[in-house]
Structure 1
Amino acid sequence: MEEKTYAIIDVETTGGGISGNRLTEICIVLLKGAEVIDKYTSLVNPEKIIPHQITSLTGIDNEMVAEAPKFHEVADDIDEFTRGAVFVAHNVNFDYNVLRNEFKALGREFKRKKLCTVRLSRKLIPGLFSYSLGKLCSSINIPLQNRHRAEGDTDATVILFQRLMELDEGGEVINSFLHPHSKNATLPPHIPAEQINDLPEDPGIYLFKDRHHKIIYAGKAKNIQKRVLSHFYDKKSREYHLGQETSFIDFETTGSELIALLLESDYILRHYPKYNRAQKKPTRTYQIINYINQRGIVQLAIGQTKQIQDSVHTFYKRNEAQEMLEKLCEDFSLCPKYCTLQSNVKVCSHYSIKNCEGICNGSETVENYNHKVKNAIASLSTAKQTYIIKEKGREPGEEAFILVREGRYQGYGFVGPEAQISSFEAYEPFLKLQESTFHTHQIINSYLRKKTEKNMIRFEEEAVLG
């Protein structure tokens, strides 16, 4: 059987993310089987300034590349040199994507089979603390000179790959990595393919963790395995760096997409994962509060806080609180002045609310007015609904539920087919308590706007959990 040709490649770049990276140097060593048959190396003019921190790392500065060929001048050489060869690199997706983007900018396609020596090393030399090129070479006594220059790193990777071929007698591991259905060519370097294969194809949440098991990304999915893989197929710089930092992937199936959304929100707010953009910033709540002023009148106002506290009612947008105050004012003939809808006026003169009965000008008694305010507050309390949302469980016969008590999310749980649920209180032993936040409020409200009430069980106020 004919021996495979491998192109061992290392590139140096200007930095600036995957899409912004421009080539500054490239080295390619061709192997026929395990034997070196040719080498190509060249500096490349990136046609942009090389940042100081990159020069400090690689030693390549703007003066060095000023007279070097531009990529379009070496593209044919690189294309021809690597044609028919397997593209091999340490952390192959980086080098491969840099070259592919350079060709793409010229309107050309660059496509090769890929092998990653990080992933191969983890498989064939398990148990090492680090698989970075420098530490790996130090661990197994491979000489590494001229570090962070294309030729020096490529020469070390060639020796590493030759060692890996010796360990992979018969080529079983390498061939499995090159199999068309293998995920090894697309996965980041530190995630074993077995970990991906173990991911379920069910709804739930997934957690990307770094090598210290710290959560760096939390996501929800209808199909956990499919969604996790989509991160690695995405070529955006942020997704690439997320993959590079991920060493472990945990998951939790939920059966219900709604519970997955609520759990995702909980993980983001509790762990502030590095790569989650949304939901991190604490959101202020707006509350209708009441207090007795100097005249003994019960006054209503809007209070703002970062915590959900006991109040007449809590809102997540100021305009919602404002609209509710106006409605209370109108429905119970309250005074706009004493509902803090007007300030610095002796007598109310609201543009739309005209049914004040005179508390502001002395024609209504404080006792009568306060009684109306008490009724208004009571109306808000009774408007807070208590209900269960029933959803599909994690397995046949199981039922998931989300509990909202007096307008506030309490948590979720799962009930098996053997459980006898005949009352609201019967859900209590299965409930996993969760925090009610702006985001959980938005998630549940969005769900209820899209769904009918057939999955919803309402309860009267006196039947709530005690």
Structure 2
Amino acid sequence: MMYTIIDIETTGQGNKITEISIFKYDGDKVIDEFTSLVNPQSYIPDYITVLTGIDNFMVANAPTFSEIADTVLAITEGMVFVAHSVNFDYNVIRNEFKALGIDFTRKKLCTVRLSRKLIPGHKSYSLGKICRALDIDINGRHRARGDAEATVILFEKLLQTDGSEIVINDFLKKSSKEATLPPHLPSAVFNAIPNEAGVYYFKNKKGKVIYVGKAKDLKKRVLGHFYNKTERELNLCRETADIDFELSGSELIALLMEDAAIKKHFPEYNQAAKRIPKAYAIFMFEDRNGIIHLAYNILKGAPNPLLTFYNITDCRQFLERLCMQFELCPKYCHLQEGVAQCSHYLIKTCKGVCIENESVHDYNSRVQNAIKHTMEYAKDMVIKEKGRHAEEEAFVMIRNSVYAGYGFIDRSEQIISKEDLETYLIPQKDNVDVQKIIRSYMSVGR
């Protein structure tokens, strides 16, 4: 079997190649080599220059990738593409060819995954650390030729390990996921993921959650990340060393679990739903003259809230509608502050309580009706869902239009009242994203 052992350096953001080194290897010795700087036709950031030593001046007169494409195609033709964290190098090169209208397809092997399989027990399988552990000198770390040459020596050692032929043949089978999985992710971890609904957590080598997702089919969705060739997904997969998961039983609860997990862990690869928006509430109080006020404030500063919102505009607009519908005073609904009497530009329904033209008793009677209306507006609801297995049911609880959480119940349990559900409730925080999830679920007529 013939191999090309490859390493590239890139611009980082955008992943345009700045240097490439290819060693053709026949399983015994190197029989050809191609190494070249590459003009990426884009800016090389300073942090990349610090890491690799390659700056914009060095590549100014270097050939572009299109100028070396034929050479790369020829030297890799019919060869197995070998690299340390192969998916990164392979996909960057493949994208360069794609931009030229050329389909680049090669069988591939990852020396990280091979090392994990053939020489287990090392703390780290990064190129620098595994080479140090195996006494392999790297002459030019973070330069394409130095790293590629070290990978050749590492690959030689792997080929000489007992059982290497069987392992490599297994890795190269079309049915094998080994070339697809992230380099640092053990196969056993992926194989343990079920084809069921739930949430999944990508973790890095330190155990930190770096991405949270949800799916109807966890295994299928997770595998989809490994086939995605975008720069963001490639970087995510390179950092992934473990995947944890939780079953949800249904897509709705998976969505709710996902939102809570993102807001708890703030994973760097989750761009949406990280914010924890402020909650606002409408509440009531009585002043020293006995007048009942309706007001709004952030939820934490609202005693005995009547209704909760996650947008201050929605909160104020609801109060304005309430004020008009029940002919209340904008001053005592706190839609106007610091005024002796109301003079709202939109609301003209006040009967004069603010200038003593109406009795406090009559005014408060309408405020009480408004409060009753508000309490009726706030709904209690329980949404039933599938459980995580056949002997289980799940539910989502809404109290006063506020999401309270979800829970799971064995089908053998007798549930007579909503209070019985409280025992099984897993309390959760409400927020605008959760409200959107539930509204969207309800809108499809389930």
> Normalising to structure 1: TM-score of the pair?
0.89
Report the more deviating stretch, 37-46 or 75-84: 37-46
- Please say if 1:369 is aligned against 2:339: no
Gapped regions of structure 2 (runs ≥ 5): none
Q: CA RMSD in A?
A: 2.2
Inter-partner Cα distance in structure 2 for 1:412 and 1:308: 25
One-letter identity of the residue aligned with 2:257: L
Choose 219-228 or 98-107, whichever is displaced more.
Answer: 98-107
Partner of 1:318 in structure 2?
312
Residue 307 of structure 1 deviates from its aligned partner by 7.8
Residues 385 and 70 of structure 1, relative CA distance in 2, 3 Å threshold:
closer
User: What is aligned with 2:117?
Assistant: 123
CA shift at 1:126, angstroms?
1.1
SS of aligned partner of 1:195: helix
Match of 2:12, as an amino acid?
A: G
Counterpart position of 1:268: 262
Describe how 1:182-197 pairs up with structure 2 within 5 A. Answer: 182-197=176-191
Correspondent of 1:53 among 47, 51, 60:
47
Q: Return 357-366 or 238-247, whichever deviates more.
A: 357-366
* Structure 1 portions without partners, runs of 5+: 453-466
Shift of 1:342: 4.2
Deviation at 1:439, TM superposition (A): 2.5
2:271 partner letter: R
CA contact (8 A) 2:158 2:164 kept: no
1:73 maps to amino acid: E
Change (3 A) 1:411 1:167: same
Q: 2:276 is matched with which residue?
A: 282
Q: Which residue of 414, 419, 434 corresponds with 1:440?
A: 434
Mark the CA change 1:271 to 1:243 in structure 2 (over 3 Å): closer, same or farther.
same
Instruction: Give me the whole-angstrom Cα distance separating, in 2, the residues matched to 1:93 and 1:307.
Output: 52
- Is 1:235 matched with 2:229? yes
Superposed counterparts of 1:153-164, under 5 Å: 153-164=147-158
2:402 to 397, 404, 408: 408
Q: Which residue in the other structure is 2:322 paired with?
A: 328
Length-normalised TM-score, structure 2? 0.93
1:212 aligns with 2:203: no
| 2:91 aligned residue (75, 92, 97) | 97
Preserved CA contact (<8 Å) 2:214 2:258: yes
Output the CA distance in 2 between the equivalents of 1:175 and 1:52: 42
- 1:145 partner letter: N
CA distance in 2, matches of 1:420, 1:393: 16
Amino acid at match of 2:437: I
Deviation string, structure 1 residues 345-398 (Cα, Å, up to 9, x no partner) = 655455664443321332211233223323322332243222211011111242
Count of paired positions:
446
Query: SS at the partner of 2:354?
Result: coil
Native 8 Å contact 2:202 2:209 kept in 1: yes
Residue in 1 that maps onto 2:60: 66
Matched, 1:383 2:377: yes
Rounded Cα–Cα distance in structure 1 between residues aligned with 2:272 and 2:137? 45
The residue matched to 2:158 in structure 1 has which SS?
A: helix
Partner Cα distance (2:372, 2:407) in 1: 31
1:34 Cα offset (Å): 3.2
Correspondence 1:358 to 2:352: yes
State the Cα distance separating 1:333 from its structure 2 match: 2.5
Q: Establish whether residue 8 from structure 1 lines up as the match of residue 36 from structure 2.
A: no
Shift of 1:299: 2.3
AA at the equivalent of 1:108? I
CA offsets per residue over residues 232-265 of structure 1, 9 Å max, x none? Answer: 2112222111111111101111111111111111
